[in-house]
Structure 1
Amino acid sequence: MDFNTLREWLTLENIMKLIQEYRALGPLPGIFLPMLEAFLPFLPLFLFIMANASAFGLWVGFLYSWIGACAGAFIVFIVFRKYGQKRFFSFLQRHSQVQKLMGWVERHGFGPLFILLCFPFTPSAVVNIVAGLSKINTAQYMLAVLSGKMVMIFIISFIGYDIRSLITQPLRTAIVAVVIFLLWYIGKRIELRLNSKSKKNHQLS
């Protein structure tokens, strides 16, 4: 199967059929597909999330998608954090655009990463690689991934589960907006604590 054939095959209906076909494996198909997108960013994550919500229900589908997407992001991050200095990956750090992105991530930390990861069409694979190559605190990165992807995946799951409710039930839409703000605010507070602790540790050392 070539790339164009694969792209044509990747529809919501076909993905749902695939999940149903391997339903006997329990949560594995629902977790594996979003995880795979972290390594193959051309795959349509939003379709995987919508298919999970339709196949498993809103909350279970959301949970499977969130676990898979976060696990994939962490694996990519850890690989580039550990092996980014090796010869195989060294060319990436020499690239001027990568260096700019690394500096941007290191300077701004949690906030912008959280916002970027809230959007479904952000090239999260690039974000994970750049974060792994940068000197950003691992806890800050993990916090941004967990909270940002939670928002993004819940919104897509919500749309995939009941797309009409966004229009017919504006209260639900308002609740989603409030949740986004609360997650951002809580994340910023935690980031401030992490920064203060790292400064204290640096001063003590």
Structure 2
Amino acid sequence: MSEWFTVENLEHITEQYQALGPIIGFLLPFIEAFLPFLPLVVFVVVNASAYGLWFGFLLSWLGSVAGSYAVFLLVRHFGKHPKLRFVTGSKRVEKLIKWVDMNGISPLFVLLCFPFTPSVIVNVVAGLSHIYKKFYLIVLLAGKFVMILGMSVLGYDLRALLTSPKKLIIAAVAIVVLWWVGKLLEKRLNARVERDLKQARKLTKNHQR
């Protein structure tokens, strides 16, 4: 296994990937928006390594934004269908919808900047909320720009990354930190959602008296 996992073999795989054409570099991040268990980080790094930092970043960015916006539009159009209630009707999603309607798009932008936050939930919640389509597109473009550019910069020089222990350690630490910050942000956001909704319910009860 270790004999196969060499820089030369990985560069050969990257060359074969590049030969498939840039449409693959666009499609993989696009598909990931529908299948979030796929490794977006890997797609971004491979695109940057195969097509260069800026063109690879552009393919990943546009593919991810297009896929996420397609999910948003599909949820906006079909989200109320009874057959989709198992996705859109969960208590967590309903709470987030109410909270987003109360607080606007800024929290969504922050979540989209981190690669390990559940972007599919963000897209579903945005689709079911009252956010204007053009505003959410702007949020996607900005949030995904920050996230994917950061990942592209980390992984675009695959040879240097794999042959330099220092760079490899820095990249690994950066990924762990991003994961940790994303999970911490998600936890704090959930707590804030609960707090704000409780306050809103109290205000509603007071007005009804």
TM over 0.5: yes
Q: Which letter does structure 2 place at the counterpart of 1:143?
A: I
Paired residues of 1:16 and 1:52 also in contact (CA < 8 A):
no
Identity fraction in percent: 51
Q: Which moved more, 1:24-33 or 1:14-23?
A: 14-23
Matched, 1:136 2:131: yes
Instruction: State the 1:115 CA deviation.
Output: 0.6
* Separation of aligned partners in 1, 2:45 and 2:132: 32
Per-residue CA distance 1:34-87 (angstroms, 9 max, x = gap) = 111101101110111011111111000000000100010011011110001112
Instruction: State the 1:118 CA deviation.
Output: 0.3
1:70 aligned residue (65, 73, 76)? 65
* Separation of aligned partners in 1, 2:78 and 2:49: 38
Structure 2: runs of 5+ lacking an equivalent: 1-6, 162-166, 171-209
Q: 1:158 to 1:41 in 2, by over 3 A?
A: same
Instruction: State the 1:15 CA deviation.
Output: 8.7
Matched, 1:95 2:95: no
Tell me the residue number matched to 1:42.
Answer: 37
* Separation of aligned partners in 1, 2:95 and 2:148: 28
2:56 aligned residue (56, 61, 70)? 61
Q: 1:105 to 1:53 in 2, by over 3 A?
A: same
> Quick one: higher RCO (CA 8 Å, sep 6+), 1 or 2?
2
Q: Which letter does structure 1 place at the counterpart of 2:36?
A: P
Tell me the residue number matched to 2:103.
Answer: 108
Q: 1:40 to 1:91 in 2, by over 3 A?
A: closer
* Separation of aligned partners in 2, 1:46 and 1:15: 16
Instruction: State the 1:142 CA deviation.
Output: 0.9
CA RMSD of aligned residues (A): 2.7
* Separation of aligned partners in 1, 2:16 and 2:71: 28
* Separation of aligned partners in 2, 1:14 and 1:147: 35
Q: Which letter does structure 2 place at the counterpart of 1:110?
A: I
Q: Which letter does structure 2 place at the counterpart of 1:55?
A: A
Q: 1:16 to 1:105 in 2, by over 3 A?
A: farther
Structure 1: runs of 5+ lacking an equivalent: 1-11, 168-205
User: What's the TM-score, normalizing by structure 1?
Assistant: 0.68
Structure showing greater radius of gyration is 2
Paired residues of 2:88 and 2:124 also in contact (CA < 8 A):
no
* Separation of aligned partners in 1, 2:116 and 2:95: 21
Q: Which letter does structure 1 place at the counterpart of 2:39?
A: P
* Separation of aligned partners in 1, 2:84 and 2:138: 25
* Separation of aligned partners in 1, 2:80 and 2:154: 41
User: What's the TM-score, normalizing by structure 2?
Assistant: 0.67
Q: 1:52 to 1:108 in 2, by over 3 A?
A: same
Tell me the residue number matched to 1:157.
Answer: 152
Q: 1:14 to 1:113 in 2, by over 3 A?
A: farther
Instruction: State the 1:18 CA deviation.
Output: 6.0
Q: 1:15 to 1:129 in 2, by over 3 A?
A: farther
Matched position secondary structure for 1:143: helix
Q: 1:48 to 1:37 in 2, by over 3 A?
A: same
Q: Which letter does structure 2 place at the counterpart of 1:69?
A: S
